[in-house]
Every structure is written in C-alpha cells, then in structure tokens.
Structure 1
Amino acid sequence: MPFRAAEVLRSAVLVLLLALVAACGSRLPEAAFEERSPAGAAPLRVGIIASETSPVGGDAFTGPRDGALAYFAALNADGGINGRRVEPVTCDDGGSGVGNTACVHELLDEKKVFALVATTALDYAGAPLVDRASVPDIGGQPLGPAYDTYPHLYGIYGSLAPRTGKAPGWNGVLYGGTEVYRWFKAEHGAGTAAVVSYNQAASAAYARLIVAGLRAEGYRVVTEQVDFALPNYRAVAADLRAQNPDLVFDALDSHGNARLCEAMDDAGVRVTAKVTNVQNWNSAVPQEYAQSPVCRNALWVTGSSRNYEDTDQPAVKAFREGIQGTLKGRPLSQWQLEGWAAAMWFADAAASCAGDLTRACVERYVNRPEPYTADGLLLPVRFEHLAEPPKTRNTCLSVARWQDNHGWVTQGDMTANCAVVPQLPYRP
C-alpha cells in the first residue's frame, strides 16, 4: 500500500483527534524483566494494549487485540508453547498518551509481562519505556512512528529504517511506495484520481502524501476539501461528477467515508474505485454504507495481509474458526486477522527458544534475515536497519473489492500484485 506506515495510521485516525496528550515516565530496569523458564513452567504472560475507549469509538482499535486473544485461546487448547500456557493480559489506554504510559507501567511493572503483542495504540507515548526495558513488542499496528523508531518494537508490516531510538526513519524522514497507484493504473487503466480531505492539519497532510504518490505515477489529480466541523459532502460530490475521476482516495474518518459515499450516490457519481484502507476492511460494510449501494459496490481496499474471506487458504480457515467464538456480535475484520498473525509470530518466536526462553532469543527470531509470513497470512515481513533509504523497492500488496452477496473479493494473489516503485519521503 502507499506510504505503508502512513496508510494505516492517518485516514481514519489522525483526522479525528486534533491534539494528543504527550506523556513521559521513569526508566524501567531492564534486568528485572529478563525471564528464563523451562517448558511446563508457570504461564507465559504477555500484554496487549488497545485503545478500546478512545474518542474514535469502541470498536475502532480492538480488532488486533481480539485476533490475538483468539489465537492464544486456540494455542492454549492445543498445548501452548512447548507445553506452556500463554496468559494474555489486556489494557485499555483510552486513546491517550497518559493512559498509554499507565498501561505500559501496569503491564511491565505490575503484571511483569514477558512481551507485548498486537499493540494498537492511538498515542503510543509509552513506547520509549518499552524499548528501554528491552521488552519485545511484536506485531503492533503502526498508528504512529514508534515502530520505525525503537529497536525493540516490531510492527506488523516490518521496517527498513535504522530504528536507533533517536528519530523515526532516517533522521525523522520515512519513505513509502506508490504501489497502489501503480496497480490501479496497470490493472484498470486509471488516469485521474480525486483526493478528499478535511480542512484540518493532519488530514490535509495525509492528503498531500496521496497526491504526491499519484503524481509520481502520472495521474491527473483533483483535490477536494470539506470543512471538518460542517462538512458539505454534496458540494464535493457535485464537483466529482464534473471532474469525472477514475479513483477516489480520502483522508477522512469512517463516518466521513460513509457520508461521502451517500453524497456520491445522490449526485450520480460513478467511479472505478472508491479506495479505502485496512482499518475499514470489515464485514460491517452493508450497515455502514446502507444508503449508498452504488458507491458501496465500488469500495476497494488494499493492504499487506491475506483477505479474511479467502477460506480456501488453510491459515485463513484456521483464523476464521478461531475467531468465531470471540466475535460476540462484532463485525469480522482484517485487523482481527492481523492480530491473529501477530500472536502467531510471537508464539513461533518463543517456540524456537525451546527450554531456554529469553527475550533476547525471541528477538533473534524476529530479526532473522528470513522474512516472516505467519503461514501465508502476511506479505513477507522483515527488519533490515538500512543506513540509507532505498530509492526504489519491489513491493507487493493485497487488493479486494466489496461486492454485495459476496463480501470482500480478492483481486489477484497478493504475492503476485508486485511492482518496483519509487520510495517517496514524508515526515510523520
């Protein structure tokens, strides 16, 4: 996907919160948390932080947590890790930096967790504490630059950055590719794209990243902006009809996406694709887009993990069977699949240590030169610590489109949807 870390974090997240509270804390002692335990010993405790009660809404950031919990439940039913049961401990940070730091202290100081898994924090203010304590954080969602900054944090999509702990990426600059725009041009002949954003700093900044990527791939770009407090989607839709774009991208939240689709249907706007992101890749589309059947069936999503609808794949089938009992009325989502994959990643790393389980051993597994795929659920993930950013990169992506009565339908295999694309700079 374009600007891989940025795609996940901005379109539905930064737009909604205009100010995040920063927090700091004291250094945690590293030696206090190192653990060596033989197989069959006490349960292995891991922490899961999710911004469950954030201002964005109750279900916005719980998918990875739910997927990880489902995986650990299935793992324990099958004997655990080398005969040792996993005990997940969850913490809701409320979507704030202060709450996040409190969760980090609770999990590391009080609960003495061995590692963190599938972190999904709107403001990961406690990341420096986790890193200084040498606690591995595996498979977290990159809702900010922490996973491209700290060496003991391992985001679900990997990182090429040096991760020295001093600044994100390369001296505060991150890089991302244009593979999504290349794919739509190659597969559907798209040449004109519209980018819709709020008149709000984070939204506008993300929109500029999309525009830069589209222009790098030779698109004619139409930009549209709506008022954050009083958005007039009808005016945007009217201009879209006049501009006749092939694609519509946005830097809006989920609610704004649904309202934009309604306005597009009312105005008779027809596009090849209304492109959204992995956070909106879920089974709630019929309810959220109930008033816009045309736009609903033009929804496309791109990501870095295998479509949760692809139950012909054994790993996806296992996820669907494992998650079923934990949904409790919540929609099925791609983030749940990625949380499942994050938990699998930790379990595979811990299992590789056999009877000599240490944090250092777990991190050696994660830092291997061989990429990790979670049995094919993820595109190959690696951590390379490159001194200089690459100018181009061969990048792959998963693509799906919504179709009523079928759900999200995969478009080509994600391991074949690949291209060598330029890497463009941006500041997080």
Structure 2
Amino acid sequence: MRRPRRAETLLCAALLTASAACGSRLPESAFREGTRPVAEPVKVGIIASATSPVGGDAFTGPGEGARAWFDVLNARGGLGGRPVEVVDCDDGGSGIGNNACVRRLLDEEKVFALVATTSLSYAGAPRVSRAGVPDIGGQPIGTAYDTYPHLYGIYGSQAPRDGKAPGWGGTLYGGIEVYRYFKREQGARSAAVVSYNQAASAGYARQIIQGLRAEGYEVVPEQVDFALPNFRAVAADLKARGTDLVFDALDTHGNARLCEAMDAAGVRVTAKVTNVQNWDDRVPSDFKDAPGCRNSLWVTGSSRNHADAADPAVAEFRAALAGKVLSQWQLEGWAAAMWFTDAARSCLPELTRPCVERFMGRPEPYTARGLLLPASFVPSPAPPPPGAERRTCLSVARWQDGMGWVTQGGDMTRTCFEVPQLPHRP
C-alpha cells in the first residue's frame, strides 16, 4: 500500500467532515486506537558495481558504510522524523548497466539523491546531472566528479564542473605529496609502478609515474595483461633493478598475486604502496601466502585510518559495522552518508534539492567530524599557474601483523607538504 504524503494527509483530515470523496484519504486502520501515520521516507539511491569484472566485492564498501550510517540515523529518528529509505542498484561494472541503474533510480524509484556511488563506468552521470539530482560522496574512479554539476565526489573538487570536459578544458591537476612523503620520511629514491593494460588502471599509473618523476625518482613502469597477468616477470625485474618502492594501479586480487610473486623471487622493498581501494582488514587472508610483502604494505589517502579506534568518529563507525570486515571505503561511504545528512538537516523542515546543493557548495570545507581531510566544491575559474604550489595533506598507514593498519606520520591534518600541482589529461 502506498504511504500517504503528509500534505495529502492534512488535506483529507480537513475534508473528512464535509465530504466522503477524498480519494487519497487515510485507510480506516489509521483511525484505530494506537496507530499513527508513517512519515514519508526520503529515498536515496546507491549505485555500486557489485558484480563487476574486477571482483565481486571490489566496489561494495562505500555502499555498506552508507547503509550503516542510515541505519543508525533511522534508529535515532531519521531526518526530522522522516526515515531514509535506501534503494540499491548493481550496475555490473558496465556502462549499459550503469545507465539502467540511473534510469531506474531516477525515473521509477524517484530518489531524492544518490549517495556513495561507486561505479567502474559511470556512464549515467550526464543523465544524473541533467536531472539535477545531487550525487553526494561518490568515489571518483573516472572523471565524472570533475566534469558535471550536481555531482560531488568524496574528496571535493575545485574544477569548474560545467559538463563540457573534465577539469579545466580536459586537464586535471594533482599534487605529489605522496612521493614527497616517502622521499623525506623513508629515504626512497627509486620506484616501480605496476598496472594492467586496462584504461582506468593505465591512466592512474601514468599519473603516478608523472608525480614520481617530478619528485626526482628513478621510475620503472611495469604493465601486465589484465586477463593473464605475468607477475613473476614483474617480480624478477624488480629484483634485478633493486627499486625502493612499488606503487600499483591494481585491484586487491592483483595486489595479492604480485606480492606472492615478489616473496617467491625474494624481492624486498622499503614499501609496497597501494591505493585506498585495498585499504581493508582482509590483508591476513588476501596476502596469506606473502608474509614478507604483506608486512611491507603501506597505503595513503584522504581520510582517517579506519583502524584508529581511539578517534571518537572512527569509533562510532566501527561500532555501527561491528562484526564485519572493515575497510577504508566503508568509512568513506559512512562519511558520504553523513555529508548528505548534514546537508539535508540544514534544510529542514523544507527539504529541497537546491537547498542541499547550497550546503554542498558552501565555502567552508567539510570534514565529516574529522573523518575526511577538508573538502569543498568552490570552483576555481582558472587552473593552477605553472609552478604554483599548494599545501596538501595526506593520511598514511602501514600494515603490521598482529596490529593491523597502523597510522604513520602523526595526524593526517599535520602530515602536509607544499607541493606543485601537476597537470594531466585523463
């Protein structure tokens, strides 16, 4: 049975004594003693490539974190008494599937917003933007969150986002703080970058290589076939070259196979640096056959280590997902749902999309109670001038058996560097 909207409920209640013809009036059960109308829910959609070719659970973490937040929120009364109803859609990791999810959520489910989108191919982004549906806290796997209005990635963006091209006329900019950190704190001077011969992986690897070279590293690019990766050959080359660091643009499965090959070949590095997608507590099982490489795993990101249980905001996240294998992407999905909630609360009692977007576009950076490095969406009309530097911070953690992910370098808000912003074309 369709739940009556609040406006219809009030109108019908006023007309009941004068007419029996109010077609949307409450059912008779609503007048029985002890029953009350249920507030209309706020619908949000979560799109994830849950069954993508990359792996069954590679993209599910943000959605898990967001749903956990909304469960807690609903237990506390929801948004001004309105529960949040989550509608999931698995796009299968394809552009066709993504477009189908967008059509279903926008046209059939009539969601108010999207939250924590995690799509391998966000083909439906133009449709979301044209519809004016806020998409809050999505993972920027592609360039959509630096291209389209109404889309707000979890890390913020200063790009114009006019829908014409990513960034500034097709050029994006990124800092080299990660490479500066390992150079200054670990004394690293050489690095290998391992990627698949797949567009997203190869593009990310090129960006890493550019940043490493700008920081003065000797760089060894290594690429493997996506379908039949030969990690043994990569490991043999790493051993012959004696590189200090290994960066990757791989999924968790690929990382584990690379580590196994490195251990088998006797490769020892200062740090095997992976990305936020692989920052989870499955390390003991995923890397069970690579103990040496496993204890060389480092990760960097823009959110507080999900293992920092002493932090109150992290502790709340961990309590809400107790019993699950935790990950950084879950924490970022939790933060995305929090961001939507704070934006929606700023609008109550009249929740509208323009009001939510005014909150998202405000000049004050957002930190999700300290879970995120400050993020905002104030556009810069011009790109950074050549040679311009920017203060950029990062979160750093290292895996240690028996201790898990241990934060390195102190608090992420103080692990900061003045670094140039390098252009790259995705």
Q: 1:229 to 1:135 in 2, by over 3 A?
A: closer
The Cα of 1:227 is off from its aligned counterpart by: 4.0
- 1:64-118 CA-to-partner distances (Å, cap 9, x unmatched) read 1010000000001011112221111111111111111111111111111111111
1:288 aligns to 2:266 (yes or no): no
Task: State the distance in 1 between where 2:313 and 2:197 align.
Answer: 42
Which of 72, 75, 83 matches 1:74? Answer: 72
**Matched letter for residue 391 of structure 2:** N
Q: What SS does the aligned partner of 2:423 have?
A: strand
Q: Equivalent residues in 2 for 1:222-371 (5 A)?
A: 222-324=220-322, 327=324, 331-371=325-365
The structure that has the greater radius of gyration is: 2
**Matched letter for residue 396 of structure 2:** V
**Matched letter for residue 178 of structure 2:** V
The Cα of 1:234 is off from its aligned counterpart by: 2.3
Q: Is the 8 A contact 2:58 2:251 kept in 1?
A: no
1:126 aligns to 2:89 (yes or no): no
**Matched letter for residue 209 of structure 1:** Q
Task: State the distance in 2 between where 1:172 and 1:332 align.
Answer: 36
Q: Partner residue of 1:219?
A: 217
The Cα of 1:180 is off from its aligned counterpart by: 0.3
1:384 aligns to 2:381 (yes or no): no
Q: What SS does the aligned partner of 2:149 have?
A: coil
After TM superposition, the score normalised by the length of structure 2 is: 0.88
**Matched letter for residue 372 of structure 2:** L
Q: 1:53 to 1:229 in 2, by over 3 A?
A: closer
Q: 1:346 to 1:386 in 2, by over 3 A?
A: same
The Cα of 1:208 is off from its aligned counterpart by: 2.4
The Cα of 1:203 is off from its aligned counterpart by: 3.8
Q: Is the 8 A contact 2:252 2:278 kept in 1?
A: yes
**Matched letter for residue 260 of structure 2:** E
Q: Equivalent residues in 2 for 1:45-84 (5 A)?
A: 45-84=43-82
Task: State the distance in 1 between where 2:264 and 2:201 align.
Answer: 25
Q: Is the 8 A contact 2:249 2:275 kept in 1?
A: no
Task: State the distance in 2 between where 1:284 and 1:316 align.
Answer: 18
Q: What SS does the aligned partner of 1:248 have?
A: strand
Q: Partner residue of 2:17?
A: none
Unaligned runs of 5+ in 1: 1-34
Which of 380, 392, 398 matches 1:395? Answer: 392
**Matched letter for residue 266 of structure 2:** G
Q: What SS does the aligned partner of 1:186 have?
A: helix
Q: 1:200 to 1:373 in 2, by over 3 A?
A: closer
- 1:256-294 CA-to-partner distances (Å, cap 9, x unmatched) read 211111111122111110000000001111111111101
- 1:136-172 CA-to-partner distances (Å, cap 9, x unmatched) read 1100111111100111000000001000011111111
The Cα of 1:199 is off from its aligned counterpart by: 4.5
Paired residue total: 388
Q: Partner residue of 1:404?
A: 401
After TM superposition, the score normalised by the length of structure 1 is: 0.87
Task: State the distance in 2 between where 1:202 and 1:78 align.
Answer: 40
Bigger RCO of structures 1 and 2 (CA < 8 A, at least 6 apart):
1
Q: 1:204 to 1:55 in 2, by over 3 A?
A: closer
Unaligned runs of 5+ in 2: 1-6, 11-37
Q: 1:201 to 1:48 in 2, by over 3 A?
A: closer
Task: State the distance in 1 between where 2:42 and 2:199 align.
Answer: 43
The Cα of 1:198 is off from its aligned counterpart by: 3.6
Q: What SS does the aligned partner of 2:321 have?
A: helix
Task: State the distance in 2 between where 1:205 and 1:426 align.
Answer: 10
Q: Equivalent residues in 2 for 1:186-197 (5 A)?
A: 186-197=184-195
Task: State the distance in 2 between where 1:337 and 1:205 align.
Answer: 26
Q: Is the 8 A contact 2:64 2:330 kept in 1?
A: yes
Q: 1:115 to 1:205 in 2, by over 3 A?
A: closer
Task: State the distance in 2 between where 1:54 and 1:226 align.
Answer: 19
1:181 aligns to 2:179 (yes or no): yes
The Cα of 1:339 is off from its aligned counterpart by: 0.4
**Matched letter for residue 393 of structure 1:** R
Task: State the distance in 2 between where 1:308 and 1:320 align.
Answer: 8
